[in-house]
Structure 1
């Protein structure tokens, strides 16, 4: 059986040719774009710098204001005094400095011990009996007496005060005056003040310590 060759019009042939060109162009463009994406070099991302940090400032602790700082009283400077007449270089003696409320126990020119004391209520050299001044000069220990049972009437309306002289009364030989000595107290808060009737007043436990080292005839220098 024979088939006849089908004939197409010119218009059909042109239309088919145009369609073929369009399909080829689209296919080629799509293929080229896909190929370009696959072969394109990978772009490097710029390095990311770490965030900068401000340097930490050192912690500064503010100093307390002047008025809140604890005050420390300077230790008074005392030049080594000359040895009293008759005192040997290895012998004990006492030096009372009224203005600083201190009593120094010396061995020759070396300080062995320091005591806080109270002195006469009024300043200056003693002038008369009852003037509440501690005499100045070079004296000696005349007697060491137990005074724990003694009382004193300070004229404050409270009558005789027991224990006013502490456990011991170290009586001094002070020409022209009597009743001047080194003794303890019933009021330790009075140490470091001008309050006595002329004597040298100490804390009782320090007086007990001093009593072990004093002797009759020991030199006692009292100065302003």
Structure 2
């Protein structure tokens, strides 16, 4: 017996966090409840209906530009921009990740995440597109790396975006290197690590995952690259190694 006298029978079809506060259930979409309190349908059911009712929204691409603070929704079938929003992106010391990602989770969290949340599959951290309880931050570099939107805008975007929708984030003073080169060491994570992995793989030194995480496989690749290029043998990726890799900062 739960508070308030409601008998609730829950059938849980996938693992998800449920928070019961009084008589209110806050949930992350994906969980399905069956009982005399309320029925929540799985997100996939809603998504199928949404795509049936809005067939034009079946093949979308989200493009976010850090410099202009613009998020555009592009219909890949017609190559037309169908939505455009002003957003907030990361601060200088907590930059928004650069690269190509996908939407892998959709939820309604509330609080500082606003009315909606959509997680990106960034390998080196938890980042997403979400609403905000600080609407005055929109249009600025104000977040801890996530992309913030006005709540009415994220609700609009959320309603047409499905799982695995591609998201490209571009811009910044130096692209993947955000605000300049940093010396990379084992354990470091980020878009800059990912870019170095790509270069090492192209040159046949690295056969690990392009995941933006400086792990064991990358350590071996760095040592082998440095031996071949007569650089000091250590695991640090410094300015001299960037130069040998052919990586220069964009002006």
Q: TM-score, normalised by structure 2?
A: 0.44
Which of these two proteins has the greater Rg computed from alpha carbons? 1
RCO greater where, 1 or 2, for CA within 8 Å and sep 6 or more?
A: 1
